[in-house]
Amino acid sequence: MLQTIVHYGIHFLLPLIFALLFFRNQWKLAFIIMICTMLIDADHLLATPMFDPNRCSINFHPLHSYYAICAYVLLSIIKKTRILGIGCIIHILADYVDCLMMT
């Protein structure tokens, strides 16, 4: 239960906090874009089984790989893709916290 609260808290509250603090003039758009980065979970459709509560997503699914994470960091550096990159990094952070809480 706690793991679920922490996971979804990071997924929804952290993007809201980032949007309000760092993208004040366009916080609504920034928040929506960061929430849309949850679409990177579509790579779970490639796994068998699709959902395994005991599996760490980090470096298991293609969009959660270390290569993808490097791309997300690069996206966050470039001004035009910064919001998207930050959203992806927050998503990966939420999944990483899940991995930590599993052990």
Give the residue extent of every domain in the chain: 2-102
pLDDT at 3: 79
Read off the pLDDT of residues 14-59 as tens digits, 9 standing for 90 and up: 999 999 999 999 999 999 999 999 999 999 999 988 888 889 999 9
Q: Supply the pLDDT for residue 63.
A: 96
As a three-state string, the secondary structure of 3-60 is HHHHHHHHHHHHHHHHHHHHCHHHHHHHHHHHHHHHHHHHHHHHCCCCCCCCCCCCCC
pLDDT in tens, 61-70: 999 999 999 9
pTM metric for this prediction: 0.91
